[in-house]
Amino acid sequence: MFKGILTPVITVLDEQGKLDFEGTKIVINRLIDNGINGLLFMGSIGEFFALTMDEKKEFVTFVVKHIAKRVPVLIGTGGTSQEEVIELTQFAEKAGADGVVVVAPYYFKLDEETIYRYYANLARSTSLPIMLYNFPDRTGSDLTPDLVLRLAKEFSHIVAIKDTVDNISHTRKLIQLVKRERPDFTILSGFDEYLLPNLMAGGDGVLCGLTNIVPELFISLLKAYRANDFEKVIAKQAKISTLMKIYDVTNPFISGIKGAVTLKGVPINTTVRQPAAAITQQQMNAIRDILVQADEA
């Protein structure tokens, strides 16, 4: 479940910072037309942290209806309030989403038992498939392989993890430990450049931001890998390595991803929610140079 190349979709906003549903349609249709295997809304790149509960519910209703089962729809429902996480997850279930992606609680560095209770309480409140989201650089806490295995064994509808750890050994240990007990459990890398090592270690793919910009690049790399066309694999991986520099152009990187999407010809606004700053022309020029270097301009 939820395997291959998945996109954490940017949240398109109009010039006033309001949800732009027409722009969102354009983004969604482009990703589906290019073969993306699933779409996550309101992930980190989707600015979940800057949206109100009412906006999140309105957005969930819209995307589920617009996608209409063309690809799996995942909703980011994680947060610091257990009650709000459960509320949004149950709303997503009733709206017809295919699953939720839930980041571990953040702000305090929590021990494993506390994180276990957070996910266990959620799992008991819904029948939706749940993807764990491990991002210790943001949460301060790691979802260890032992903790993931415990949750996967206890709750059959905890079906996957997005492992956003800048260390492929962590993901490899997850694959070796968890898949031994749950072969169906999906393990995705959260860092774009780890798609290839993820697959080679026995993982299932990637859920990463650059797919907003060049979805066809990641799909073609996956196809080349499955076809044992390693000359093409090497060439595609080299492009991804170059494109990774986009993440360093803006802080946070969300406006940089939106800017790169527009440079690929997608007619959307690059607006981000404050306190993040709008992308500058100098930053747009830097991203354009990176696209040229990767032969993706």
Residue 163 sits in a domain whose CATH number is 3.20.20.70
| pLDDT at 108 > cutoff 90 | no
User: Which sequence positions are flagged as catalytic?
Assistant: 44, 107, 133, 162
| pLDDT at 112 > cutoff 90 | yes
Judge whether 241 lies within some domain: no
Residue 272 confidence (pLDDT): 97
Residue 208 confidence (pLDDT): 98
Cα separations (Å) of 103 from 37, 44, 115? 21, 9, 10
For 179, the domain range is 4-228
| pLDDT at 46 > cutoff 90 | yes
| pLDDT at 1 > cutoff 90 | no
Judge whether 286 lies within some domain: no
Residue 107 confidence (pLDDT): 86
| pLDDT at 109 > cutoff 90 | no
Structure tokens belonging to residue 75 = 């909703």
Judge whether 240 lies within some domain: no
| pLDDT at 188 > cutoff 90 | yes
Q: What angle do CA 217, 221, 222 make, to 5 degrees?
A: 120
Say how many domains are in the chain: 1
Residue 63 confidence (pLDDT): 98
Q: Has this prediction a pTM greater than 0.85? A: yes
Judge whether 61 lies within some domain: yes
Where does the pLDDT of residue 290 fall: very low under 50, low under 70, confident under 90, or very high at 90 and above?
very high
Judge whether 247 lies within some domain: no
